[in-house]
Structure 1
Amino acid sequence: MILSRRPDVERFLARPDAAIRCVLLYGRDAGVVRDRANQLAGKVTERPDDPFDVALLTDRDLDADGARLESELSAQSMMGGRRLVRLRLSADKADKVVAAAVTAHAGGAFNPEAFFLIEAGELPARASALRKAAEAAAAAAAIPCYEDEPGDVARLVRETLAKDRVGLDADALAVFVARLPRERGVARQEIERLALYLGPGSGLTASAKDLEPFLGVEPEASLSEAAADAFGGRAAEAQAALRRAAAEGEGGPGAVRAIGMHLGRLRRTLTLAKRGAGLQEAAKASGVFWKQEREFLRQARSWSLEDLDRLQPEVLGADRACKQSGAPDQLIAERLALAVAGRARKLGL
């Protein structure tokens, strides 16, 4: 079966269905796949690091011994708990072999009490035998792991810092999330580094000013600034900023996401203002950082909700296009930024 809706996935990870023997976690962001696999492993067995109950394999192990996978799935737990066989794939060369094992194990061919957990990268729907096998078997589940959205990143920051009894206020959280890399594993390292900086157990809730020594000066190539340039009608600046961001490792999907976030803040601000709130008050409620407030308010006085409604389909279209395999995502992002800037210029910005 397929589990793709967030509520269904979260529910399954919190309490795995006892009838499911195989789970395939796959996606472009290896950090998200790994985090979900760790969460699921902890639910399947009380000792996810115990070598007597858990077998941890890679595709290289399968290359070295073709019978290793079937042997591990057939073995019984030595300590009396549920056995976990965890396979991490770094390539698709073992796709058909693992697919056959999924079909057989889901059908009860091996130890029915063993749980088969597979971690893989991006798997094309039509070309991956492994994905097809996991989706087709009644006792298996295929779970796509999408790249984190800003809300996911913010939640990860809050939850990770809370474990060390430190936190960030709303402005500091917005600044820190905007600066984090989108790859989950790297982002988690940065969050842990921040926790050490704030002092584990200190109970400190840091402000944006408190973060300045930790973050340093925000780089020119930040995607949030590129988005602000686009909505402010500064096409050349927006394009140059996106190219600098690309040189620093920020790809097209992140750029389109930043433009969508800026549009969302403008929409929320204008909606609140339409309901009677002051424009400055509405901007603050929309999460606008005080250093960007002056420019943001200038834009909010020129853009209208109708203008944003007309622009929204282009942003959504660019986001979908960036996620297609082999898409020129950097070019897509630059074209979107130029289109936004062109509309802003027509509005007088």
Structure 2
Amino acid sequence: MILSRRPDLERFLARPDPQVRAAVIYGRDMGVVRERAAQLARSVTEDPEDPFNVAVLTEGDLSGDEGRLEGELAAQSLMGGRRLVRLRLGGERAASEKLAVEALGRLLSGELNPEAFFLVEAGALGRDSALRRAAEKAEGCAVIPCYEDEAGDIARMTREALAKDGVGLNAEALALFVSRLPHERGVARREIERLALFLGPGSGVTAGPKDLETFLGVEPEASLAGAASDAFGGRLAEAQAGLRRAAQEGLSGPGAVRALGQHLGRLRRTLTLARNGAGLQEAAKASGVFWKDEREFLRQARSWSLENLDGITADVLAADRACKTARAPDALIAERLALQIAARARRLGL
């Protein structure tokens, strides 16, 4: 059973089908994987921290002890209640995946503890993954692929989290904040928490873009936003330097590609609105352009056309796909994309 639609997934995480005795949650965004696994664990057992009913294993625990996983799944609960066995996979998984596949098969065939629930948390599992194939075919196993959050997902998460602290952002500030956030769920949540502290929990503040200037000015993601602007502005050396500075701040190649794609999206929306009759400055504001960046953005918007941007879109999509390939040189892919964009911008006279 593959759960990818949000309503189905949320129902399952809140109240798992009693016939489901295992789940494999996987994806590139380990923050989303961990969050959904924690939610499912709370639904499966009363206390996910109970050492008598819950076993948490890693690949290191299985190294040199191949029977450990099946032993935990065969063990009976000492205190009553459903037993939960969590396996966290990461890195090179060939040997651990094989053990997980074997344990999954034995559990679902009734050879191990029928009251045990097997929860696997893994990174990106390709179509050739033995664990993914086995889980998708197995009766009584839920498979939950986790994709990177879209801007709308992050905006909703931001609104909900800030509302709990009694603060908020207006539409323009929310668009600006979301555009600067990484799409990795765990990092995004930490940044939202920092923003709530910045605004003052319980203060009732609804902040605008200018209120965020100090906060965003120290964000590492500002390096990526600046590099993207430099690329579309035809500044090759500055774009390259910005990407390398962002890499030193811990931001990966996929994040850089997203920043370039987001800048492309803002230019496209601005030019589309302008083509439909809006003033260019008005269109830029509607596209979420920060007021401090407006002058440079408008300079670019006057030189780029929708047709020129169409030629860039394919390059951005290709770079995004390349970054999702195992062991891809993410930083080099992003840097090459930025230089390609900067070179085109130069040919447009920027």
Aligned sequence identity (%): 71
Give the corresponding residue for 2:88: 88
1:292-321 superposed Cα distances (whole Å, 9 cap, x missing partner): 112222222222222222221111111111
Q: Is the 8 A contact 1:229 1:341 kept in 2?
A: yes
Q: Is the 8 A contact 1:221 1:242 kept in 2?
A: no
Q: Is the 8 A contact 1:172 1:207 kept in 2?
A: yes
Give matches, 1:18-37, under 5 Å.
18-37=18-37
C-alpha displacement of 1:257:
0.9
| TM-score, length-scaled by structure 2 | 0.87
Give the corresponding residue for 2:113: 111
Give the corresponding residue for 1:102: 104
Give matches, 1:114-129, under 5 Å.
114-126=116-128, 128-129=129-130
Paired letter, 1:99: V
The worse-fitting range, judged by mean Cα deviation, of 308-317 and 201-210 is: 201-210
SS at match of 1:226: helix
Paired letter, 1:49: E
The worse-fitting range, judged by mean Cα deviation, of 39-48 and 302-311 is: 39-48
Paired letter, 2:104: V
Q: Is the 8 A contact 1:279 1:297 kept in 2?
A: yes
Could you tell me how far apart the structure 1 residues matched to 2:216 and 2:314 are? 34
Q: Is the 8 A contact 1:221 1:244 kept in 2?
A: no
CA RMSD of aligned residues (A): 2.8
C-alpha displacement of 1:324:
0.8
SS at match of 2:303: coil
Aligned residues: 348
Structure 1: where are the runs of 5+ without partners?
none
SS at match of 1:142: strand
C-alpha displacement of 1:341:
1.9
Q: Is the 8 A contact 1:171 1:208 kept in 2?
A: yes
CA 1:134–1:338: 2 relative to 1, 3 Å:
same
The worse-fitting range, judged by mean Cα deviation, of 39-48 and 97-106 is: 39-48
Could you tell me how far apart the structure 2 residues matched to 1:220 and 1:81 are? 46
Paired letter, 2:127: A
Matched, 1:189 2:190: yes
Could you tell me how far apart the structure 2 residues matched to 1:139 and 1:220 are? 42
The worse-fitting range, judged by mean Cα deviation, of 257-266 and 218-227 is: 218-227
Could you tell me how far apart the structure 2 residues matched to 1:243 and 1:344 are? 20
Give matches, 1:120-159, under 5 Å.
120-126=122-128, 128-159=129-160
SS at match of 2:278: coil
CA 1:14–1:280: 2 relative to 1, 3 Å:
farther
Give matches, 1:157-306, under 5 Å.
157-217=158-218, 222-306=223-307
C-alpha displacement of 1:207:
2.6
Q: Is the 8 A contact 2:179 2:262 kept in 1?
A: no
Could you tell me how far apart the structure 2 residues matched to 1:220 and 1:255 are? 9
1:41-88 superposed Cα distances (whole Å, 9 cap, x missing partner): 233334433445433333344447654433433445566644332222
Paired letter, 1:165: G
Could you tell me how far apart the structure 1 residues matched to 2:190 and 2:325 are? 28
Structure 2: where are the runs of 5+ without partners?
none
Could you tell me how far apart the structure 2 residues matched to 1:274 and 1:213 are? 34
C-alpha displacement of 1:266:
1.4
CA 1:147–1:65: 2 relative to 1, 3 Å:
same
Q: Is the 8 A contact 2:182 2:255 kept in 1?
A: no
Could you tell me how far apart the structure 2 residues matched to 1:281 and 1:190 are? 29
CA 1:143–1:289: 2 relative to 1, 3 Å:
same
The worse-fitting range, judged by mean Cα deviation, of 56-65 and 162-171 is: 56-65
Q: Is the 8 A contact 2:182 2:221 kept in 1?
A: no
CA 1:109–1:321: 2 relative to 1, 3 Å:
same
SS at match of 1:309: helix
| TM-score, length-scaled by structure 1 | 0.87
1:13-38 superposed Cα distances (whole Å, 9 cap, x missing partner): 34534432211112333222111111
